[in-house]
Structure 1
């Protein structure tokens, strides 16, 4: 057992602290090449990760950078720096700690490269940038440890792929460097370990005591949830009562738009003038920082937020988490729950608020999954090639390289372990020349091979442009929002498409305020305060979560119960009525209902494949139905079903679910669809084909889209096998259309289809008639008209009393 140095031991003793078993394990195994700690939120993961570093530096001096800490969030890096500086100062240790993010000044960044601190805290993007400099070998000389915090939050994204490629570069520069990963509870520790380790080396895993189960339940409300919608507005009185009973409450939402709407109505109902804030990624940095500081100072009773507060920052005295809307993913729910009572072995407290009637079922399924410690996860895909192309450009910025050496280095990264030489050469050729159709243009002639076989940049001046475009986060096309006048306070950002719909005098919500659109000047939306008019809602392009496969399967198993004593009476009666009128969906079978209504023929497919996949299924089915002369007119999709309507009844659905036919339909549909152009634009930016940033100027979203559309059409016409088009197809399938979930659904049911023909709408399908896009109602009377439509429809199917 490795003992703490006396100075660290005394510091623990003066506080009455004792080292946790998993922290001691991390100290004992600090020489392991790769070490992953999985511990519950509040379990002291960060201190466990840094203890070996503090012990090393307390025992003797170290020249230059000793430990590199990487966080998914800039705010988390800043928070960890503050938390480290306090014990270092109290022990008078000669350790310099600094952070380096997009908010760090250029002067400090230059100094950090010339004179690195002992501990540097940064983000994946900043690390990729650091590895692009020719002096990277000097800066990282002597690096002993890399700590990746919240590694589970990076594992399923391109940021994680880019990060591990950068770590592979560090490992080449510092062969004795140790890798440390810190993670909350996850479904598959082995998968995280494979990501962290240098392939094919093993990774040691430390599992901390998971602590007590969280105190999590449904919020009781006097009003039943609506039949459709996602705002949770009906629960505001009950939410306010909970806020009054607790010190600080985090109120999580799945989208930024929903957070804005909820905050607006919460504030209108806040008769006691409780201090309440809002926090999400589209707000200005200044506004987010004000809210964060107010949380730390204990000045806020509640914060309406999104995933921007998901991760491990210890924000003040939070003692309750409320999740509005079904969590969609059990891992995400557990992460958010952990924000409350952020202490070791203290149970977190959380309440779930289903936004609509079906989400009551989903929330109960999520509750059961948390109690059973049944976390969900998706199968990890191969490393994306657009990220690999960017990595090659980054490596070229740092100096000449040997292609085989770089390939060997890349193959040490788990997702790229099976990268073939041909695939690598495709990426290298694309980076060097732009590919067959573009090699005649000087703009894309970026690399050249020297006589000695080494590759280098054709023009060293290109490094600036490449560095300005490093990163895999695809921000939506947005415009800044400020109050009018010179030096007007920034409020945040709105999507460019939403701004294009505004005319002077229009009002919208941002940061919880109703503002009036005045003008668009120099790519900035100028507004004034206007609280006396019904606002439009700014559209924010935040992540749209889909219900996970595991949670969907749990819901299907719930449907097989004879009774549902844990569900509210109104929901249990709804499911019983569905069983009487038709049947409930089952695992291993596909339920399809067909019925007439209002001179239209409807078909409802209960695939439980997630919103993206159900949307894609609607597109493919209507295309096929059109070929069969069934005259489809439209469809609407949710996480659990797709409702299609048309002029002719569906007699036999089996031909619509032939996997080969669906695949052919997907390929032909994607070839001429805007989805491919959107995906192409994102991948082309990441791969370096299109620049999103230029020195001294910024392209508007429309300009960038116009450029990418021209490129897409050119490649599609003259070079259909171009690498970027192949990447686009792969990305579209696993991202926007989620075709793998359709394949999983069809494989799961093995052709077992229950097609039921009825003479009226069924209870389970009825809420789909009220989904956005199916009932186009706008204006000030929207809520009343939707309520009237819901009452009429539910009376039709015998649900008006529920």
Structure 2
């Protein structure tokens, strides 16, 4: 066991602390090439990661950069900087700590490259930018450790792939670099360790004492939840009571728009004038910083928030987390619960608030999964090639590179460990020439080979490449400002802004504002005291219920009784069982019934929102071909409802796996989803520039240029690398066809069809869902013809 240096021991003693076992292990094993620590929130995880660095820097002998810290959030980097300042100041350590994010000034960034601090706190995007400079070897030559915080959050996204590729470059500049991963919530530690390690080297895992199980319950109110919707307005009096009973409460929502609505309604009911804030990614940096500072001071009793506060910001006074709406994902729920009670070996407290009747079932399933430590997560596929293309261009910005050496570095990254040389060469050729159909255009002639090394054809293009580094695809947004005021309130989607007319009101940062006009790509507003605003459609992922949680719900349906459910929900399910059937994991339940003059088909696939939308598009396409006259459909996480003119006597043939796959191919070929996916992948891969020296392209400009490119490649080079990447991305992401495949494999073509004469209890809420998708086909033509004949007959024109 390695002893703490005396001044560190004295500091621990002065705080009345003793070193935790996992902190001691991290100190003892500080020399390991890679180490993954999984420790509960409040267990001193961050100090465990930094303690070896602080000890190694104690004597002041190290010059330049010693430790890199990478986090998913800029706010988290700033929080860590603040927290590190305490032990460094208390022990008078000769250590300089700085952060480097998109908010850091240009002057400070230049100085950091020339004179780096001992500890640099940054994000994946900023690290990728750093390795793109010619002087990167000088900056990184002495770096000893990299700490990747909240590694589970990065591992699930392209940002994690980008980070690990950048890390492979840093490792080549500093072969002795040691890697440390920190996480509180991991469903598959071995998979995370594989991504952190320098392949094929192993990465040991340190498991801290998980502490007591969290105290999680579901809110049960006198007023029953509504049958549909996601706002949970009914819960506001009860949630305000919870806020009064606790010191500080985080009230999480799954979308930014829902957070704004809830905050607005909460304020209207806040008769005690409790100090309550709002925090989400569409608000301006200044507004978010003010809320964070107020939280640190203890000035707020509650914050209505979204995923912007999912991760490790250390606010020790938070003693309750409220999750509005079903969590959709158990791992995310546990992560959010960890925001409450940052004290070691003290349980976190959380309350789930179902937004509607079906979410009561989902919340109970999530509670059970949480108690059983059954975290959900899908296996990660191979590293995406659009990110790899960007990495090749980043490498070229730093100077000439030898292709075989770069390929060797990339193969050390877990997600790319199975990458073939042919696949790498495809990406390299694309970066060099744009590919077969584009090689005639100078714009995409970016790399040239000289004496066995690749380099930028025009060194001046490095600046343009750097301006577009990153993997986060931004929906085009516009700044929102009060008229004649410089300060931004935040951002709204371009499409939402286009729907506004002067006088319209909407919510922004918890206040109602009135739209006055658009001025130079800025939405100008004024204050408004109305009570019924429009709601800004903030961009944000609409989470789909995970496969594991869906399976748990299906297993609940097979119980004889449901004592864990509130009586109103248990009676609802029993009525469904009496009238029809409850869905079964091994079969697809299809209900056919008339309603409102239409033939309806309710399909319970339990495959998630995106997968059901894809299934709806394919099934209605097949129904149209079969003359079944579909008119439209609507989807939820657990089902889809299709309505039309012709009853479907036997739905089983619609679910033939081969036909569904063929239907997907036909649909994808002519669908806007492919162009949208192409645009995202093309921006990441460097085919299309989002940012230019003349300013940022608007969404319409980027869409126009990408659509032309897509059509050109589809016509003249259908096997182009970007089209192959586009297909992979569309299948995996936007259409979520993997979940459709999982449903088909799980049910093996077994369909239970129940033909009824009226709406069933489980199908009824589907009629209340927003977001109906019309089908334009023969059924609409038939309706139009019938309506025309009725009108002509009424007008006495049938004989003319």
TM-score category by the smaller chain? Answer: over 0.9
CA deviation after TM superposition for structure 1 residue 654, in Å? 2.2
Q: How does 1:512-591 map to 2 (within 5 A)?
A: 512-532=510-530, 534-591=532-589
C-alpha separation in 1, matches of 2:593 and 2:5: 75
Distance 1:170 1:147 in 2: 13
Q: Which residue of the partner structure matches residue 782 of structure 1?
A: none
Partner of 1:229: 229
Asked if 2 retains the 8 angstrom alpha-carbon contact of 1:145 and 1:177, the reply is: yes
Deviation, 1:688, is 0.4
Per-residue deviation, residues 139-160 of structure 1 (Å, max 9, x unmatched):
0011110100000001110000
Report the Cα offset of residue 651 of structure 1: 2.0
Residue 5 of structure 1 contacts residue 59 of structure 1 at CA under 8 Å; is this kept in 2? Answer: no
1:509 maps to 507
Deviation at 1:774, TM superposition (A): 4.4
**TM-score scaled by structure 2?**
0.96
Does residue 422 of the first structure (1) align with residue 422 of the second (2)? yes
Instruction: Work out whether residues 634 and 773 of structure 2, in 8 Å CA contact, stay in contact via their aligned partners in 1.
Output: no
Partner of residue 641, structure 2: 643
Aligned ranges 1:71-220 → 2 under 5 Å: 71-220=71-220
Contact 2:277 2:303 in 1 (8 A): yes
Match of 1:250 in 2: 250
Residue by residue over 1:575-602, the C-alpha shift from the partner in whole angstroms, topping out at 9 and shown as x without a partner, is: 0001111111112221111111122111
The 8 Å contact of residues 276 and 302 in structure 1, kept in 2 or not, is answered as yes
Runs of 4+ in 1 over 6 A off after TM superposition: none
Provide Cα deviations, 1:347-388, integer angstroms capped at 9, x if missing partner.
Answer: 001100000000000000000011111110111111101000
Structure 2 CA distance for aligned equivalents of residues 690 and 194 of structure 1: 32
**Alpha-carbon separation, structure 1, partners of 2:212 and 2:541:** 31
Give the equivalent residue in structure 1 for 2:789: none
- Which position in structure 1 is the counterpart of 2:479? 480
Query: Corresponding residue for 1:677?
Result: 675
**1:187: Cα distance to partner?**
1.1
Q: Offset at 1:773?
A: 2.9
How far apart are residue 677 of structure 1 and its match? Answer: 1.1
Query: CA separation in 2, counterparts of 1:532 and 1:137?
Result: 58
Aligned counterparts of 2:217 and 2:156: Cα–Cα separation in 1: 28
CA distance in 2, matches of 1:339, 1:419: 38
Distance 2:41 2:659 in 1: 46
1:657 match: 655
Q: What is the aligned-residue RMSD (CA, Å)?
A: 1.1
In the alignment, the residues of structure 2 paired with residue 333 and residue 743 of structure 1 have an alpha-carbon distance, to the nearest angstrom, of: 26
Residues 98 and 121 in structure 1, CA contact (< 8 A), matched pair in contact too? yes
1:625 aligns with 2:623: yes
User: What is the number of residues matched between the two proteins?
Assistant: 774
- Partner of 1:154, secondary structure, is helix
Question: Post-superposition shift, 1:164?
Answer: 0.4
Distance (whole Å) between structure 1 residues aligned to residue 611 and residue 737 of structure 2: 6
| Contact kept in structure 2, 1:292 and 1:315, CA below 8 Å | no
Q: Map of 1:457-476 to 2, 5 A cutoff?
A: 457-476=456-475
Corresponding position: 1:320 with 2:313: no
The separation in 2 between residues aligned to 1:585 and 1:533, in whole angstroms, is: 42
Question: Within 2, Cα distance between the matches of 1:472 and 1:185?
Answer: 23
The Cα offsets for residues 68-123 of structure 1, whole Å up to 9 and x where unpaired, read as 00010001001101111111111111111111001111111111111111111000
Q: 1:325 to 1:198 in 2, by over 3 A?
A: same
CA distance in 1, matches of 2:750, 2:108: 64
Cα distance change, pair 108–116 in 1 and its aligned pair in 2 (3 A): same
Counterparts in 2 of 1:376 and 1:466: CA distance versus 1, 3 Å: same
Unaligned runs of 5+ in 2: 775-800
Work out which of the residue numbers 684, 688, 691 in structure 1 matches 2:689.
691
The alignment partner of 1:351 has SS state of strand
User: Take 2:750 and 2:653, find their aligned partners in 1: how far apart are those partners?
Assistant: 13
Check conservation: 1:295, 1:316, Cα contact below 8 A: no
| Aligned pair partner of 1:492 in 479, 490, 493 | 490
Contact map agreement 1:411 1:419 (CA 8 A) in 2? yes
Deviations 1:143-186 (A, max 9, x none): 11010000000111000000000011111111111010001131
Secondary structure of the equivalent of 1:503?
A: coil
Is this contact kept in 1: 2:632–2:773, CA < 8 A?
no
Contact 1:600 1:647 (8 Å CA) reproduced: yes
| Per-residue CA distance 1:394-442 (angstroms, 9 max, x = gap) | 0000000111111111111111111111111111111111111111111
Alignment of 1:770-789 (within 5 A): 770-774=768-772
Report matched runs for 1:711-750 at 5 Å: 711-750=709-748
For the residues of structure 2 that align with 1:461 and 1:414, how far apart are their CA atoms? 33
SS in 2 for 1:419: coil
Q: How has the CA–CA distance of structure 1 residues 37 and 473 changed in structure 2, closer, same or farther, with 3 Å as cutoff?
A: same
1:51 corresponds to: 51
* Cα distance in 2, alignment partners of residues 407 and 6 from structure 1: 46
1:387 is aligned to 387
SS at match of 1:58: coil
Query: CA shift at 1:722, angstroms?
Result: 1.0
3-state SS of paired residue (1:456): strand
Alignment partners' CA distance in 2, 1:133 and 1:87:
33
- Cα deviation, 1:313-368, whole Å, max 9, x if unaligned, reads 01351111100000000000001001111111110011000000000000000000
CA distance in 1, matches of 2:59, 2:527: 58
